[in-house]
Amino acid sequence: NAGVTQTPKFQVLKTGQSMTLQCAQDMNHNSMYWYRQDPGMGLRLIYYSASEGTTDKGEVPNGYNVSRLNKREFSLRLESAAPSQTSVYFCASSEALQRYYEQYFGPGTRLTVT
């Protein structure tokens, strides 16, 4: 099993450009998440999908959109990138959005916006 995979691993964008970060999991998990990691701030939740067909905002959703394409895939889109979106982005999944289930994380995407 590959677990949680993310593409691309690295990306450089100019301000105003758009891009989509891709995430897929092969563990048959119901819930998926997008986080951003900034120095000294831990991880912050951008959006999550409790189950296929549902998405909800997290702590820092502004400037992002998501699509739960199917049970396996959950993409994050930046419509008009800004330098403040320079960060490392992690996708995660869990069996369900319940207290007993841990989240499994992908390797991350390092995004720089100039």
Partner 1 sequence: AQSVTQLDSHVSVSEGTPVLLRCNYSSSYSPSLFWYVQHPNKGLQLLLKYTSAATLVKGINGFEAEFKKSETSFHLTKPSAHMSDAAEYFCVVSDSSGTYKYIFGTGTRLKVLA
Which residues here bind partner 1, judged by CB under 8 A? 4, 33, 40-45, 48, 58, 90, 92, 97-100, 102-108
98 vs 114, beta carbon nearer partner 1: 98
DSSP assignment letter at 89: E
d(C-alpha 94, C-alpha 49), whole Å:
10
Closest CA to 111 of 28, 46, 32: 46
d(C-alpha 114, C-alpha 46), whole Å:
21
Residue appearing with tokens 């490392």: 88
Angle, alpha carbons 39-92-78 (nearest 5°): 65
> Taking the complex as a whole, how short is the minimal distance between the CB of residue 79 and partner 1, in angstroms?
24
19 vs 97, beta carbon nearer partner 1: 97
DSSP strand pairing (43-49 vs 56-57): antiparallel
67 vs 105, beta carbon nearer partner 1: 105
> Taking the complex as a whole, how short is the minimal distance between the CB of residue 107 and partner 1, in angstroms?
5
> Taking the complex as a whole, how short is the minimal distance between the CB of residue 64 and partner 1, in angstroms?
16
52 vs 95, beta carbon nearer partner 1: 95
> Taking the complex as a whole, how short is the minimal distance between the CB of residue 16 and partner 1, in angstroms?
28
